[in-house]
Chains A and B, each alone.
Chain A
Amino acid sequence: MARVGVFVCFCGANIADFVDVPAVVEEVKKIREVKYAVYYKYMCSDPGQQIIKDAIAQYRLTSVVVAACSPRMHEKTFRRAVSEAGLNPYLLEIANIREHSSWVHQKNKKAATEKAGDLIRMAVAKSIANEQLHEISVPVTKRALVIGGGIAGIQAALDIADAHIPVVLVERSPSIGGRMAQLDETFPTLDCSQCILTPKMVDVASHPYIELIPYSEVIGLEGYVGNYKAKIKKKASYVNFSLCTGCGACTQKCPVKVPNEFNMGIDKRKAIYTPFPQAVPNKPVIDAEHCNMLLKGKCGICSKVCEKGAIDYTMKDEVIEREIGAVVVATGYDLWDPKPYEEYGVGRFKDVITSLEFERMVSASGPTGGLPIRPSDGKVPKTVVFIKCIGSRDEAKGIEYCSKICCMYTAKHAILLHHKVHDSRAYVFYMDVRAAGKGYEEFVKRAQVETGTTYLRGRVSKIYKMGDKLMVRGEDAQLGQVVEIEADMVVLATAIIPYKTNPALARLLGISYDKYGYLSEAHPKLRPVETAKAGIFLAGCTQAPKDIPDTVAQASACAAKVCGIFSGDALKKDPMISVVNPDYCSGCQNCVQVCPYQAITTEEIPITRGSKETRTVAKINEGVCQGCGSCAAVCRSMAISLKGFTDSQIINEIVSI
């Protein structure tokens, strides 16, 4: 029979003033299973804990009830004390007589005392049904998967690899670098983007702990924290990277020209191409959608000029598998298509361009050699109008949120324009200038003062053509006047949107995403880099719009989280999870449907021992189960029980009142 010890705390005066503790103890002693009951001033103090430890030995207690503050406060303290006395820590129950009785019924001592007695009776009844539980130990594969090779993925991969943990870095395009590689200079310091990024890219390629898999996509992920198995599709590049020297002869001779995505379509690339000169790895790939040889079977020039014989037109997509323990998702962002802004002449007027197009133009390695030019006639613009919040903060046409970086890069563009075209004049139409960040407000001031950029608060209503000029008609809300500016070029600061494959990727990884397609963090404030699925982390704009410093900080935070998981040989887990009794399981699979973590699968077991016939029963993956108990509540045959909160424990509590 159960032998329960009850230890009631005064909590100084917190409990004792409002609950007649000695009376409660006398009342509790009447319960059949209670072999020992005592009160003390502070049970959580060292002497208080010693009372518990001594009593466990002296009265051979099989479970312990501490009536004190909330279990959320001192459950761990008392569990440790109990286990130090040789009793399983999960044989402890707490009766919350402070938060739930003495503090909330301060004007009614009789009722508070009665309630405290009931709460203890419930805890005693529950503790009788408590079982010994042991922490679960889950083995860990010490290898991380980083999805996305932009600055977020690069930073996370480098930080993890520097801790001597192997990293698999998967990038969908032929080169790592991401959006940052497309930038010319970065705010607020005007550092050259390529100059600070390319060394990191080279580090990734040469790092002994990083396996870089470019031109590939993650197409499957199975398992749970510490024990994932990722399927990666290596897209056919038609170039044998181990033979290719990156000499570039093939890209020079290729006769097919297609718009260059890296330069936002301003110039052309070939069908066999490296995205940009500093690409890592610096090996070309063949674009199968445009290659004459692959489409029509005619051409083969690249193969003829390749001295190494690295071109292989028969190459097929290949699926590889990697065992990993944690995932960092860093898929980055895309730009919102400003087509709905018809009144700005998007698509009709060639000289209305997007910010990233402008960025490529002013880039020294860009398609125009670092000089902004009008796409219509190739002339250098003297008057440029920048319009912010294109798509951002626009519920009617775009998205509701603020894209966060446009205020800053527009200020940067105004400065860069001035640097490239000294006699130019820049106008910025804005709704608000949001420059919260180190050195950001100063940077905007610099754009306004140093380069004489005119900031006009208001929206542009219309852009129309007059001769070869663009007439920008808008409102200066501060003057309360309509203004019209004769511009040579208009640059639209388009909103950041999540990469279009995010929802599909989220479903594949088993994590959640919001209505825009951004991947959701576990908690917006306190767990901003974790997802709801253990072992999967988020870095960069895949979670929300961010600038480079924030992205890098989040990527390093991910790396710290990953290193934390890999710090031991096994992960320790709370044992309060669900278990299936296969003898009772009818195989209805209700539990499979309600599990929010996909922790329940089915397995076939023999109908009777040694029988060849099998039946289906539920199987819970203890590495994935978080212990919510949804499955236990829907189980019709009561085959599932949630350890620590079993049916008998809770029913015991209910009937003991």
Chain B
Amino acid sequence: MGEAAKKEIGYKDVNDQVLRMLEPPGAGWYIQLFICVALVIVGFFCWTRQLLFGMGMAGIAHPIMWGVYITNFVFWVGIAHSGTLISAVLYLFRAKFRQPIYRLAEAMTVFAVMTAGLFPIIHVGRPWFAYWLMPYPNERALWPNFRSPLVWDVFAISTYFTVSAVFFIVGLIPDIAAARDRAKTFFRKMLYSITSVGWTGSHSNWRHYMAGYLLFAAFATPLVVSVHSVVSWDFAMGNVPGWHATIFPPYFVAGAIFSGVAMVLTLIIPLRRVFKLHDLIRPEHFDAMSKLIMLTSGIVTYSYLTEFYTAWFSNNIFERYQFWFRPFGEFKAAFWGMAFCNCIAPLSLWIKPLRTNITHLFILSIIINIGMWLERFNIIFTSLAREFVPAAWGGYNFSWVEFGITIGAFGWFGMWMTLFIKFFPAVAITEIKEVMPVPMRNPEAAGQHH
């Protein structure tokens, strides 16, 4: 790979290009930050109303007791998923296309978990008691119910957040040191000096760093599988027709990677354009991500079909009704939207030129994001709308409070991303350098290096 890269850019160019992103921002950045913060305020306002007047402010109602908030939760956990996949799993597999995108993916992971983590708290009726889900010693000798998937969720998400945050921060250290060396203002100097924890770039530094990084990568890899499997158990452990299926863990993991890669595309394409990172993030990287999307889209499509097959084969009237209801019932628009976004639209990537067509990829990534939101909608809403007792079937009335909180969450995520790209290197300087030819006095020798 990277024939052209080798010839065109050297170590200095990488430093220049990446660290240029940290230069004092222009009006565009401020506008973006303003929009994000404004959305956060809207979301917070809506949540305040919900806290003051009760959960009734949200559209959730009997029998659909989980609604937009849990959909958002699963959606953001799914987004959070691919970061670790790209950074840890692909690191272990030495997949070189990860280098320019993994930092952004990791940041995305951490911020998406931070977003996802808000939703269980927003969702519960008495959030001031949400800490009861944590096992902590107390004089009442009351423990959480370890049989409940929601308690597993608490563990899975908090572990995932801790590990991915540590992994992310550790990976940043050498790059922060590079930024520190170039920092001009006092504030930045202080920030980078502290966060680079005295990195000097010595051999001993590197030796410990690489060992540690490998360890974290190995540690994070099982979490890629576990976190979304556990989230899927929130549903699979329930007895609701449409939820109670053993296929859920792999299906959710594949879906999460699918949505995560799409989200990386959604973020990286504008970034590449704004900061002119065309040299670093190259068509072959997009091609590799497209292939990942093709694979996961295939798995997701297969899972959908399996669900229908299982419902038919089981001869269980409740399951059968549920899977009749999804494509033909009240929420059929969501089902067909999902099928289009997740199954049909990604098929376009089988056409090779489209895999490197940035515009196409950007639009497709948005479509996939919508599709994956709809997938969670389908699982949660339609299943709960048609359970066992027909007299208790019901629908849903969306409320503006839910909408406000949902866009507030996007604002929250965007706010962290916006701040991040201006304060820390969003593209991994050191790792890009790793895949570049070592600079030699004789450029010819460099060409023969591989």
A binds B: no
Chain A residues near B (Cβ < 8 Å): none
Interface residues of chain B, those whose CB is within 8 Å of chain A, are: none
